[in-house]
Amino acid sequence: MMIEIWADVVCGWAHIGKRRMEKALASWDGEPVEVVWRPFQIDPAAPVHSEPLEQALRDPIADGALRACVPGLSPAESRARAAEAASEEGLGPQWGAEWRPNTLQAHRLIALAYDKGGAELQGRVVERVLNAHFVQVRDIGDPAVLSEIAAEEGLAGEFAGTGPDAVRELLLTGKAKGVRTSPTIVVNDLALEGAQPPETIREFLEDARRHAPRRLPSEVVRLRHAESLLDQRDPLGALTLLRPLLDEHAGDRGVRMLAARAYFASAQLNRARTALESLVAESPDDSYARHLLGRTLQRQGRHEEAASHLTLAAAMTPDYA
């Protein structure tokens, strides 16, 4: 059973949640599990070059991001509560961060660790990154700090040669799944938010074990995630997830239609028109494709062409009138 932990490595509750998960699994007697860490960013607007945290807290954007991490508490209250919980979990009396880094590169290292060495190597890297940020109070936005961790775990060459695209796609996948906070545990399409007590985690794992869903082809899952992003008004994110499907399944009508909708929603009108003209030519009785083509032409100022498609679409489906 795969346990996904969607978390940000600058979230104190992720560090606490890691300890609580370890305690929950220490007494787990169910099927074998694999714990996989996935990326989440509580502060995606953090600068590439880190800044002192106390200074950052005077920035309304950073303050808002930290408030969203623990709703109902100020950043100071949240940090105090997290420090108390960290002490209870044995993370040390000096526990606490001093930097506001952008965590994209740290997530890149963590994702690389899983790709190269599986959950065991990834778990070690996650522990090193969390320890660097919260115990050693180092700047994990500094490439030198991450490169040092990568070298210690045998990943130096691979880390130097990879980019952040895979992490950006994972961030979009988490958003499509509905991940809203750090940490969030996801097992078999069920989610548990927050650093819950070990007993609660065990109960959740028992429920999730009994909830094994029907396995869908990876292409179907990707398509559904792209559609979720489009429903969340993130058409560019949807197109990012659709890109491999457009390459590998260029003839699939569902893929092409979703791409056309995303092009329209992101104001890529020429691409939308090209895709929709092809879909309408193949299926002249597809009222939705014809309606969307009419709207696309309308937005391009081609009103006469638009009118014919909009009229036909409304005749086939009165709701489009």
56-115 tens-digit pLDDT: 777 776 666 666 566 666 667 777 888 899 999 999 778 989 999 999 999 999 999 999
Among 22, 32, 5, 9, CA closest to 191 = 5
Q: 111 and 11 in one domain?
A: yes
Q: Are 158 and 22 in contact (CB under 8 A)?
A: no
Across the beta sheet with 184-187, what order do the strands follow?
34-39, 2-7, 184-187, 190-193
Q: 263 and 167 in one domain?
A: no
CA atoms within 13 A on the CB side of 134: 25
Q: 278 and 148 in one domain?
A: no
Distance from chain centroid for Cα 77: 27
DSSP assignment of 245-269? HHHH-TT-HHHHHHHHHHHHHTT-H
CA triple 154-99-57, angle to 5 deg: 150
> Of 151, 179, 209, which residue sits at a domain end?
209
Q: Are 107 and 167 in contact (CB under 8 A)?
A: yes
Q: 181 and 104 in one domain?
A: yes
Q: Classify burial at 48, counting beta carbons within 10 Å of its beta carbon; exposed 0-12, middle 13-18, buried 19 or more.
A: exposed
Q: 231 and 165 in one domain?
A: no
Pull the structure tokens for residue 78: 């949240």
**Residue 204 sits in which domain range?**
2-209
Q: 46 and 154 in one domain?
A: yes
The total number of residues shown for the chain amounts to 321
Q: What's the pLDDT score for residue 82?
A: 87
- Give tens-digit pLDDT for 170-186: 999 999 999 999 999 99
Average pLDDT over residues 190-202: 96
Label the pairing between strands 51-52 and 34-39. unpaired
Among 255, 241, 248, 103, CA closest to 166 = 241
CATH of the domain at 145: 3.40.30.10
Among 129, 150, 19, CA closest to 85 = 19
Please state the pTM of the whole predicted model.
0.91
Q: What is the residue whose two structure tokens read 């060495």?
A: 117
- Give tens-digit pLDDT for 155-169: 988 898 778 899 999
Q: What's the pLDDT score for residue 70?
A: 65
Q: 260 and 192 in one domain?
A: no
